[in-house]
Amino acid sequence: MATFNDLIKQNTLVLVDFKADWCGPCKMMTPILKEVKHQLKDSVKIIKIDVDKNPSVAATYQVRGVPTLILFKKGKQVWRQSGVLQASQLVQIINSHI
């Protein structure tokens, strides 16, 4: 099984959605992320990390609130924001890093 570090070190941009099952705004991100994936296809990989099930990963990246989105390029964090964003905003941000 690939580790988190293996996943974010890929050549493809990786958008990580740090979330929690009890978080209302996190649930709002699901259709937004589906739309982003639909628009950008293989130019971005989107993974979800449950902060309650993966506290060490959340702590490593100092995730204090959910949802927190972090964009990685070849293992380096290139962008990060907490809260809900619209699909159009996310597509624009991701495109600026491709």
Is 26 tagged catalytic?
A: yes
Q: Taking the C-alpha atoms of 16, 36, 26 and 56 in order, what is their torsion angle to the nearest 10 degrees?
A: -10
Of 23, 57, 91, 93, catalytic: 23
Alpha helices in 1-98 (DSSP H): 4-8, 24-40, 55-60, 87-95
Of 14, 26, 33, 36, catalytic: 26
- Which residues are tagged catalytic? 23, 26
